[in-house]
Amino acid sequence: MYEKYKNSYKVTEKELVSLSVYNVGFQRCDSLYQWGPGIRDHYLIHYIISGKGFYKIGKRTYELQAGDSFLVYPNTEVVYYAAETDPWEYAWVGFTGSDASMILKATDFSPEKPIIRETPHGSDIHRQILHIYDARGNEFEHAVEMTGRLYTMLAMFLHGASHTTEQNSANSYVQKGIEYISSNYSYAITVEDIADYVGVSRSHLFRSFESVLGQSPKEYLTDFRMKQACYLLEHSSLSITAIANSLGFDNSLYFSKTFHKQKQMSPKEYRTHSRTS
């Protein structure tokens, strides 16, 4: 007779905007143990260590077993439950952030098929989820370490992906573009600067971003800066001008107009609201 268990950890402060661990854990389930129907507000990957179970999304039900993986998309109603005999044991990690969608589009997961059977590098993925769990904690250093290990785990899904060469190229260009943006957003960079770093034309970069993320490089750069602005407004005492300068805006008025367009309130109003809510 097997012994059931559950070990889980939920992060209370998700401070990194590009990618943050939401929760992580591992569990051996009771017969017919079920979660749902319900939705999550984050991405959630389960890797099945042993046993069997079922994942239901919409009108589709997938029967899964050891070595398979399944992905729960945000705001999508799902049900998953252990088989009556040989109930599953799985490890999971939940995560959010602006990089999450882009990375997952480069894997074999999709909304049409949110499962991967006989997951390539499965034992390594399982081991990496346990490493994320081992790094748990609510200090900033823990968040950084957990996120680093999450990137490593997600890279394993990319290594096993079967996308076409063309799509892989687009993903690679977008990944390099995001790498440049995340390192240089505090400077007055342009889309041309990003394209030069990636090594493609501006129009090719535009097409890659649109195909992978559904938005232009300029829109991504603005979104990235606005997420950073929200964090600084909430967690620092920097002036609006200092925040604008820190985000690559040489004009605080233009920064305020851009922020208002995205958030329907001024930076000052956002700061006041975030500290009173």
pLDDT band at 93 (very low <50, low <70, confident <90, very high): very high
Top pLDDT among 162 and 31 is at 31
- Mean pLDDT lowest for which of 97-106, 108-117, 190-199? 97-106
DSSP three-state, residue 255 = helix
Give me the sign of the Cα torsion angle 189, 192, 198, 203.
positive
Per-residue pLDDT reduced to its tens digit, 198-226? 999 999 999 988 887 888 999 999 998 99
Q: Is the pTM higher than 0.75?
A: no
pLDDT band at 4 (very low <50, low <70, confident <90, very high): low
pLDDT of 1 = 44
Q: Could you give phi then psi for residue 89, rounded to 5 degrees?
A: -120, 130
145's CB contacts (< 8 A; 6+ apart) are: 135
Instruction: Give all domains of the chain, ordered by start, each with its CATH number.
Output: 5-159 (2.60.120.280), 165-276 (1.10.10.60)
Task: Give me 154's structure tokens.
Answer: 């997600």
